[in-house]
């Protein structure tokens, strides 16, 4: 009887205890709640509503419990449901894109880029792009500069006052660069780079020191595009020998530029290495992919390096193949290489079209 009475008491919260908890202890307890539950608390009282949107609360607990960081998979068969890999908890989840974000005419949409909690979609039927923050439930529709509009190498870049969208477009047999600035809500047109930049349309530009950096096809070199003045520049830096392919990745938080490249002859890679750009503008070798892992990756892409693309995600350099559902990544701080296995919900018959993105939710990034 006593045990039953105690059990009944523990099932309900004692207001006398909870009302006397120190604010920092209450915040700590709340930080362990699932994100959906925490957001639902906004309607219970003014204190919880202000707490959820408090920058200090978000900053203090987001990395530990509030928001995780994800690798997001976009595939033609996924449509509005995107598999997510939680890189902190090592678990798979699913992200459903709310249909309320999409205009009525958006029968088709493609995820093209991500940055700082924002996702950028192309809506071909409505001749526009859609930039949205799913966590903040905000979005913005951006019309194409003109129609028809064929573009490539779209890159979403975070700026101190919002974001910019860079892309290349072939118009009237000429190559042009277009930049959209969310601060002024308009496009600017600049000269493109001749010859054409890349043989890989899955690789985005690497944001570094206010510019986007790209690797050219053979003979390999590095060029950059200044997002402010629209000028192109060839980097006077010596490239490693016997390169078979080159991809650039940047860590914008620490201001570092990395290069992933295959080493071999006659277009066949025998090894893969990681370099970092040093203070003098030279490439300094950081790490080499272990032999067995290199054999697997090269067999995966069949030495068709146009399918290979790379991106940065939370101290990880992710190396992906458009025809393979797994991710190879380097943990930069530890200088170790790992594989992320295929998502269990992906059918084996899906043989290509795998496009991965870094997705780190952020309440305060405005679309």
Q: Is 288 exposed, middle or buried (0-12, 13-18, 19+ CB in 10 A)?
A: middle
Domain range annotation of the chain: 36-66, 67-366
Q: What pLDDT does 178 receive? A: 96
Structure tokens at 337: 């290489």
Q: What pLDDT does 194 receive? A: 72
Q: What pLDDT does 5 receive? A: 40
Length of the chain as a residue count:
367
Q: What pLDDT does 262 receive? A: 96
Q: What pLDDT does 326 receive? A: 95
Compute φ and ψ for 28, nearest 5 degrees. Answer: -65, -45
Q: What CA–CA distance (Å, rounded) separates 193 from 216?
A: 10
Q: What pLDDT does 135 receive? A: 81
Q: What pLDDT does 106 receive? A: 64
Q: Which residues of the chain have pLDDT under 50?
A: 1-10, 63-66
Strand partners, 178: 167, 189
Q: What CA–CA distance (Å, rounded) separates 223 from 38?
A: 45
pTM over 0.75: yes
Q: What pLDDT does 200 receive? A: 64
Structure tokens at 262: 């295959």
Q: What pLDDT does 80 receive? A: 72
Q: What pLDDT does 195 receive? A: 63
Q: Reply yes or no: is the peptide bond before residue 345 cis, omega within 30 of 0.
A: no
Q: What pLDDT does 361 receive? A: 87
Q: What pLDDT does 197 receive? A: 63
Q: What pLDDT does 10 receive? A: 45
Euclidean distance between the first and final Cα of the chain, in Å? 58
Q: What CA–CA distance (Å, rounded) separates 129 from 123?
A: 6
Query: What 3-state class would DSSP assign to 228?
Result: coil
What superfamily would CATH give domain 67-366? Kelch-type beta propeller (2.120.10.80)
pLDDT tens for each residue of 304-350: 899 999 999 999 999 999 999 999 999 999 999 999 999 998 888 88
Compute CA 221 distance to the chain's CA centroid, rounded to the nearest angstrom: 24
Q: What CA–CA distance (Å, rounded) separates 159 from 165?
A: 10
Structure tokens at 236: 């006077």
What letter would DSSP give residue 353?
Answer: -
């Amino acid at each position: 009887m006593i045990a039953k009475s105690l059990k009944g008491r523990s099932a309900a919260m004692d207001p006398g205890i909870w009302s006397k908890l120190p604010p920092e202890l209450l915040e700590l307890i709340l930080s362990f709640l699932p994100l959906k539950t925490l957001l639902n608390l906004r309607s219970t009282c003014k204190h919880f509503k202000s707490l959820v949107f408090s920058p200090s609360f978000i900053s203090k607990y987001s990395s530990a419990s509030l928001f995780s960081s994800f690798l997001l998979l976009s595939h033609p068969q996924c449509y509005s449901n995107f598999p997510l890999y939680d890189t902190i908890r090592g678990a798979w989840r699913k992200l459903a894109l709310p249909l309320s974000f999409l205009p009525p005419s958006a029968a088709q949409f493609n995820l093209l880029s991500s940055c700082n909690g924002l996702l950028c979609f192309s809506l071909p039927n409505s001749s526009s792009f859609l930039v949205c923050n799913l966590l903040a439930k905000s979005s913005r529709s951006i019309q194409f500069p003109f129609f028809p509009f064929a573009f490539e190498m779209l890159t979403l870049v975070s700026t101190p006052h919002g974001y910019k969208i860079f892309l290349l477009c072939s118009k009237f047999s000429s190559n042009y660069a277009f930049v959209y600035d969310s601060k002024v809500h308009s496009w600017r047109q600049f000269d493109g780079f001749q010859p054409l930049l890349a043989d890989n349309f899955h690789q985005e530009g690497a944001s570094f020191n206010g510019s986007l950096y790209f690797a050219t096809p053979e003979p390999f070199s590095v060029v950059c595009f200044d997002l402010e003045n629209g000028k192109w520049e060839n980097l006077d830096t010596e490239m490693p020998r016997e390169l078979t392919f080159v991809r650039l990745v940047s860590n914008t938080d620490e201001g570092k530029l990395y290069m992933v490249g295959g080493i071999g002859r006659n277009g066949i890679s025998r090894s893969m290495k990681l370099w970092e750009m040093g203070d003098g503008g030279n490439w300094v070798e950081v790490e080499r992919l272990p032999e067995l892992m290199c054999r697997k990756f090269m067999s995966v892409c069949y030495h068709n390096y146009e399918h290979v693309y790379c991106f940065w995600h939370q101290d990880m350099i992710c190396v992906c193949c458009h025809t393979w559902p797994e991710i190879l990544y380097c943990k930069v701080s530890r200088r170790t290489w790992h594989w992320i296995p295929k998502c269990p919900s992906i059918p084996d018959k899906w043989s290509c079209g795998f496009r991965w993105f870094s997705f780190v939710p952020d309440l305060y990034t405005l679309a």
